[in-house]
Amino acid sequence: MSQEAYVDPATAVLWDQSHTEHDMIATRTLGFWLYLLSDAMIVSSLFASYLVLDHRVNAAAGPTAGDVVHPMAAFWGTVLLFSAILAYGAAMVGLKRGNRTAVLVGLGGAFLLGGGFLLAEGYDFAQLALHGMVPERSGYLSAFYALVLYHGAHLVFGVLWIAVMMAQVARQGFTPNVVYRLLNLKLFWFFQGFIWIYVFSFVYLAGALHVH
Amino acid sequence: MALRKEHAGPPLSLALLLFLGGCAQRGFWLLHPKGAIARTEWHTTVLDVAVMGGVVLVAGGLVAAFLWRYRVGSGSRKYDPTYTSSLVIELLVWGVPLMIVGYLSYFSVKSVFATNPYNPLAIRHALAHPRQTDEAMGRRADPALVSATAPGAHAPRALRVDVVTTDWQWVFIYPRQGVATVDELVVPVRTPVKFDLTSATVVNDFFIPELVGEIDIMPGMRTKQAMIASRTGLYHGYSDDFSGGGFSWMGFSTHVTGRAQFNGWVRRVRAAPDHLTYARFGQIARPTINLAQRVRYFSQVQKGLFDHVIERVMEGKVYRTPLAMTEDMTKPMKVRLIK
Amino acid sequence: MLVDYPGPWTPLLGRLDAHQIPLQNPILFWTFVLVSLGAATVLGAVTYYRSWGYLWREWLTSLDHKRIGVMYCLLGVVMLFRGFIDGVMMRTQQVMAVGPKSPGYLGAVHGYLPPYHFGQIYSAHGTIMILFAITPILVGIMNIIVPLQIGARDMAYPYLNAVSFWLTAAATGLVMISLFIGDFSHAGWVGLSPLTELAYSPGVGVDYWSWAVQIGSVGTTLASINIIATIIKMRAPGMSWTKMPIFCWTALSTSVVGLSSFPVFTAAVALLSLDRYAGTHFFTPGLGGNLMLYTDLFWIWGHPEVYYVVLPAFGILSEIIPTFSEKPLFGYITMAAASIAIGGVSWSVWLHHFFTMGAGPGVNAFFSIASMLVGIPTGVKVFNWAFTLYRGRVRFDVPMLWALAALVLLLTGGLTGMMLAMPAINYTVHNSVFVVAHFHNMLNVVGFACFGAINYWFPKVFGFKLDERTGKLAFWFFSAGTVVLFGSMYALGFMGMPRRIDYIPFTSWRPLLIGEEVGIFLFLIASYYMVKQLFVSIRDRAKNRVTTSDAWGTSRSLEWLAHSPVPFYNFAVQPHVNARDEWAWRREHGLGHVRPDHYEDIHLPNNTPLPLMLGACAFALGFGLVWRMYWLALVSLIGIVIIVIARSFQDDPGHTLPGAQIRQMEAVYPDIPREAGATGGMLGGVVARHALAAPRSRARDD
Ligand code: HEA
Ligand code: HEA
Ligand code: CUA
Ligand SMILES: [Cu+2]
């Protein structure tokens, strides 16, 4: 005898004939949120490592945050990145209206601006490397590169994904699959901006304020 | 072991007796502590086992009783599938363990401070009340210890020993005495000993089961440990954290001697021809397995060697393990073996 | 490239050359011969019986959660056996190499294994057992059971599910191939830092370990995502949170733990790989590295991981015990709450794995108390199981035996866990075999639960029960082995014996080491009976066929409403849930055999070989990186990207099964028990579509 026999067995509904289709888009988005959570854990680990290794001892008599970061350069990067996010937002508005061109234009903008951010970051790192500030130099530099480049690698992937989505929007239009991917990509893209806020404040701003 | 010798004391020592009764005296090092720290640790063990053992027996007994009572074929007519929850039982099963954990937490905190490697209260306590600490464990008080701190006797000054581990040997430096040894530790009885420890290579763990619990030894860092031995004798010490191919042979013997013997030993070491400079240390630190437990003495030690080892490691000095030592599973070990 | 490691390197083969195949080592040589023979036999048999097509269609490319689950379990059991062989080798070495006078063979100074080989064995053993044996078995069981228990047709993301599995398989493949090409790590399953750094482990062993666990943990993270989403989104109508079977609660809790902790592990090991490949200084002793950072990151994952494996085991016990007590689970709500609590607290105790690192007394005290707090929800579980037995009708079928023994093990393991959680005690037994005994005691809770689960759900999946007599023999020998071996090990802990030693310096430890060897013999007999149980059961499957959906007659949750063996579409019509123990509720109200009167079309995803190919690429990526064949790594990485993109353009349309066909297939299953069970190619287990669709399917039984 089960403990909760509230339901009258005589009239109980046993089978669900009402054709419950699971909401595919919502399910996919949930999964993507969960993925983002797991990624956030990796980012937190990297942040933890950065904060542990951002110490005079860990610079091994080499450059410290103050020598490495250029908040102004990073500021322009930030502007680029957030414009890219804005552009993606515009694409989402286009999606709501069902306007294919608007979506393509928005995605294209995000692609270019995101790519611009990556180029700027690449230039920045090339400069660092030229000055001998390579990850092999010290624990601090290792952590710095790992954290910032992890974000950068995500952007590379994001830009690639945007390109793929442009192809799919152009070819297939707004099928459910394309729509859920656009929504997930939005989460992904915004998430990168979110992480950048932390990178910018904890690495670039805090680094510039370091007094040695 | 004769039971009569034990003080018939609180139930704790009874539990202790049960433990001791079942085992051969030899070999069960943790059960026969020879120092204040080790004794506190063993005391905590007994207490925890007694409390948790009680709880576990109750839980296990309950399960066993219900299994027996309600097994098919037991003839029990009490089958009642509607009995699926009870507020009282829920409160009990959450509340009682909570209280027990609270009780154990209290003891845990207390014993953490008593055995804190950086400042063990147990040693202070042992020096202040030697008789009491010994008797609390239901053991015969060590008469020697009692007299050492009898009115008039002042607490002995602590001995300092710097410990450096290499792959895979122990270097013990006596900074005040200006001598050093490899793989042999000699300390006077009833004297607090303070260790500073670091490693030239990977992480090791300093452990003398009968005298003191473990403390990690890490490259580029300094940890501390303190102990006091209440009985003279030979005790085994070894590394307790895997450190590569020679790990199993990484033992050292610990001689606890009388004060006079200790001084005599220091004089003997001072006669040794070898000197421990940093360069000499570099030779010792080459991966070596001391199969034969050969002991070496150094009559002089370069000043600040211990700190120098730490600094050099922080600057990136590594003593590489040769590939042949780590990878080759077919040929005999290809490192320096001291046979 | 960026780092200097000893030994030659060529662009094509990287560090690999013919010397890396250790044929001159007789142990490895004969293992190699045996494994090759075994593989040849299996492949030969598949070819002989022309089963390649069947294997490919029904298994390798399948997206069916039950198939994937079965493959997970199979992988896990095979690896469990491999881990066992490792255990036999370790125990034998330790009993041989006692004291300075003990002889040495095969190049070892004492015993028959030189230090580095011994180190590899326990490292491989620990890694395999935890990540590639017990975890796959549990994920497999969750895969099979969770969708059935919540009345779903599949996992939320069937494709992702297959990807997770093949990633796990690829990682396992890497560990296995390290036996024959190169070496495995010697730095323990925890990757002791800085021993794992290139300076102290210059070979490829640590790389094998690190890539295998990275790939494997990505797979497990994805699996966790899938299970969480499945439980949140796919529950049958009527199944509110408080009606969800308790196993699903533990699966949910465990997956949350997995999702949030495995990425930390991936990150920690990835940083280690950067040290080894790019010459960074995360965990090096010098130049600004911090090796304690690794230890922290590792255990921030490592501790939750042990609860990740024990929570589903608790779920399994909570399913088996009520079934064989003929009573609902006692205290359902608190059981669910305790599962969540254990998962939650597991996050705040990691430091108890390195109490000896010299943290201040305040820190150690905090983590001591936090660790002991876990005992409370665990105790709640124990007592609630006890009260489930109370006023029940207890039968001792094989699954119940495993479950009850697991309960006892949990008590002793918990006792020793509570000892370790007190720093003052931990200082004396940390890194001794006492710890080893503690965690084998605990992990055997999981092992016993897995064996129980396999015995319990086997008829659900394959349509026939496992043999009872051999099952009981296996149980008793396994239990005896556990007691003898790990009992001796506990005692050795009090003698101060360190873990991970290949040579035993003190002869006073010998008697207990011999005791452990006796335990190994008992385990050997147990595994003989396990294999025999499987063999006998398959041979006598007609006799052990279950004729109803409810193999044990007293089961409770929804999976027992589905036919045995479960058809590929699970439920022809989605059930509506009315009670917490829905199946028991229906059975008790005489509704157990009420059929739906109307069948709708079912939509199912198509098979696809892409997950398998992804797994293959991941394997090649790992292999390329291990040997620093950078071209291979790059090619397989590009392969992965291409497959992912290609899949996104593919837009699997799936296929639809018309309701009429389902009605016809369902007709195979009787409402009322009858002598011969429902169809089922034995090999297929979970019923294959061709077996159902073709009318001759019934003839295949005999
Ligand atoms: C889930 C995890 C798990 C499991 C189940 C086991 C099971 C066993 N383990 Fe292990 N072990 C670890 C995890 C595990 N271990 C870990 C993490 C370490 C630490 C590594 C390190 O130091 O880094 C370790 C270390 C370890 C050591 C090293 C101790 C040391 O450091 O000195 C030893 C030595 O004896 C050992 C032995 C055993 C034995 C004898 C078993 C036995 O219980 C095995 C029993 C299994 C069987 C008897 C097999 C059953 C049969 C089959 C599966 C075949 C069935 C086939 C069909 C049905 C077709 N283990
Ligand atoms: C399934 C795996 C599993 C489980 C469930 C546990 C459970 C526990 N473990 Fe264990 N543990 C491991 C696997 C596991 N452990 C592994 C693999 C390692 C070592 C890895 C390595 O180093 O290689 C390890 C190591 C380990 C250590 C570090 C040892 C060292 O290296 O020095 C500690 C220390 O605190 C510890 C503690 C505990 C505690 C307190 C529990 C608790 O959860 C136990 C709770 C259970 C009970 C308490 C019993 C039942 C409760 C009652 C009967 C009610 C009454 C209870 C109270 C009043 C408290 N474990
Ligand atoms: Cu821990 Cu240094
Ligand atoms: Cu733990």
Give me the mean pLDDT over the A4-29 stretch: 76
* Whole-number pLDDT of residue C1: 43
Distance CA C226, CA C160 (A): 7
Which band of pLDDT confidence, cut at 50, 70 and 90, is reported for residue C656? confident
Domains, chain C: 18-541 (1.20.210.10), 546-608+652-702 (no CATH)
Whether B217 is in the pocket of ligand 3, judged by its Cβ within 6 Å, is: no
Chain C residues close to A135, C-beta within 8 Å: 274, 278-280
Q: Is B314 in Cβ contact with A60 (below 8 Å)?
A: yes
Q: Is C327 on the interface with A (CB under 8 A)?
A: no
| Closest Cβ–Cβ partner in C193, C328, C422 for B84 | C328
C161-180 pLDDT tens trace = 999 999 999 999 999 999 88
- Residue C661 phi, psi dihedral angles, 5° rounding: -65, -35
- Residue B300 phi, psi dihedral angles, 5° rounding: -135, 150
> Does residue A116 fall inside a structural domain?
yes
Distance CA C601, CA B100 (A): 58
> Does residue A97 fall inside a structural domain?
yes
pLDDT at residue C667 is higher than 90: no
Q: Is A5 on the interface with B (CB under 8 A)?
A: no
For residue C612, which of C55, C37, C207 has the smallest C-alpha distance? C55
* Whole-number pLDDT of residue B136: 45
C90-139 pLDDT tens trace = 999 999 999 888 998 887 888 998 888 899 999 999 999 999 999 999 99
Distance CA B327, CA C273 (A): 19
Interface test with B, best of C427, C442, C497, C499 (most B CBs within 10 A): C427
C516-541 pLDDT tens trace = 999 999 999 999 999 999 999 999 88
Domain encompassing residue A136 = 42-52+69-208
Which range, of A65-69, A115-119, B119-123, averages the lowest pLDDT? A65-69
Q: Can you tell me whether residue C489 is helix, strand or coil?
A: helix
Distance CA C24, CA B117 (A): 48
Tally of CA atoms within 13 A in the half-sphere of C627 that contains its CB: 25
More confident residue, B245 or C146: C146
Whether C356 is in the pocket of ligand 3, judged by its Cβ within 6 Å, is: no
Distance CA C588, CA C580 (A): 13
Q: Please tell me what DSSP assigns to residue C288.
A: T
First to last CA, chain A: 73
* Whole-number pLDDT of residue A55: 87
Distance CA B292, CA C100 (A): 9
Domains, chain B: 159-325 (2.60.40.420)
> Which residue bears the tokens 């009090």?
C494
pLDDT at residue C678 is higher than 70: no
* Angle in degrees, 0-180, between the axes of helices C398-420 and C375-389, rounded to the nearest 10: 150
Which band of pLDDT confidence, cut at 50, 70 and 90, is reported for residue C488? very high
* Whole-number pLDDT of residue C149: 95
Q: Which amino acid is at B236?
A: H
Q: What is the CATH number of the domain that holds A186?
A: 1.20.120.80
A98-112 pLDDT tens trace = 999 999 999 999 999
* Whole-number pLDDT of residue C2: 59
Q: Give the closest-approach CA distance of A59 to chain B in angstroms.
A: 11
Distance CA B82, CA C391 (A): 9
> Does residue A167 fall inside a structural domain?
yes
Q: Give the closest-approach CA distance of A140 to chain C in angstroms.
A: 7
Contact C40, C31 (CB under 8 A): no
* Whole-number pLDDT of residue C609: 93
User: Which helix (H) or strand (E) is C602 found in, with range?
Assistant: strand C602-604
Structure tokens, A20: 């419950």
Task: Report the chain B residue with the minimal C-alpha distance to residue A3.
Answer: B82
Strands B184-188 and B179-182: unpaired
Distance CA B203, CA C126 (A): 20
Rounded to the nearest integer, the mean pLDDT of chain A is 89
Q: Is C297 in Cβ contact with A139 (below 8 Å)?
A: no
Distance CA B127, CA B189 (A): 12
Q: Is A181 in Cβ contact with C580 (below 8 Å)?
A: no
Distance CA B146, CA C221 (A): 61
Distance C97 CA to ligand 1 centre (A): 20
Q: How many CB pairs under 8 A join A and C?
A: 185
Strands B296-298 and C602-604: unpaired
The neighbourhood of ligand 4, an ion, using CB within 5 A, equals C 303
Tally of CA atoms within 13 A in the half-sphere of C287 that contains its CB: 20
Strand ranges inside chain B, DSSP E = 159-165, 170-174, 179-182, 184-188, 193-199, 204-208, 212-217, 223-227, 233-239, 251-257, 275-276, 288-289, 296-298, 300-301, 336-337
Contact B163, B221 (CB under 8 A): no
pLDDT tens, N- to C-terminus, chain B (339 residues) = 333 333 334 444 444 444 444 444 567 888 989 999 999 999 999 999 999 999 999 999 999 999 999 998 887 778 888 888 899 999 999 999 999 999 999 999 999 999 999 999 998 888 887 665 554 444 444 444 444 444 445 567 899 999 999 999 999 999 999 999 999 999 999 899 999 999 999 999 999 999 999 999 999 999 999 999 988 999 999 999 999 888 999 999 999 999 999 999 999 999 999 999 999 999 999 999 988 888 999 999 999 999 999 999 999 999 988 887 776 655 666 677 776
Q: Can you tell me whether residue C94 is helix, strand or coil?
A: helix
Task: Report the chain A residue with the minimal C-alpha distance to residue B312.
Answer: A60
The residues pairing with B255 across neighbouring beta strands, listed in sequence order, are B186, B234
Distance CA C165, CA B103 (A): 46
pLDDT at residue C596 is higher than 70: yes
Chain B residues close to A1, C-beta within 8 Å: 81-82
Number of structural domains in chain A? 1
Distance CA B33, CA B49 (A): 17
* ipTM summary value: 0.92
Distance CA B99, CA B106 (A): 11
* Whole-number pLDDT of residue C673: 40
Q: Is C271 in Cβ contact with A34 (below 8 Å)?
A: no
User: Which helix (H) or strand (E) is C656 found in, with range?
Assistant: strand C655-657
Residues 6+ apart with CB under 8 A from A11: none
Ligand 2 atom having least distance to the Cα of C380: 54
Rounded to the nearest integer, the mean pLDDT of chain C is 90
Q: Give the closest-approach CA distance of A133 to chain C in angstroms.
A: 12
Q: Give the closest-approach CA distance of B220 to chain A in angstroms.
A: 11
Distance CA B258, CA B254 (A): 13
Whether this prediction's pTM lies above 0.90 is answered by yes
* Whole-number pLDDT of residue C633: 96
Sort C11 into a burial class: Cβ within 10 Å, 0-12 / 13-18 / 19+. Answer: exposed
First to last CA, chain C: 62
Distance B299 CA to ligand 2 centre (A): 47
* Whole-number pLDDT of residue A19: 60
Give the residue ranges of DSSP H helices in C49-99.
Answer: 52-54, 65-96
Give the residue ranges of DSSP H helices in B8-166.
Answer: 11-22, 36-69, 87-115, 121-128, 130-136, 143-148
pLDDT at residue C681 is higher than 50: no
Residues 6+ apart with CB under 8 A from B261: B188
C34-54 pLDDT tens trace = 888 988 999 999 888 888 888
* Whole-number pLDDT of residue C5: 82
> Which residue bears the tokens 């006669």?
B271
Angle at B42 between CA B41 and CA B48, to 5 degrees: 90
* Whole-number pLDDT of residue B23: 47
> Does residue A199 fall inside a structural domain?
yes
Distance A54 CA to ligand 4 centre (A): 28
Contact C392, B79 (CB under 8 A): yes
Given CA atoms A84, A90, A91, A93 in this order, what sign does their dihedral have?
positive
Q: Is C427 in Cβ contact with B115 (below 8 Å)?
A: yes
pLDDT at residue C647 is higher than 70: yes
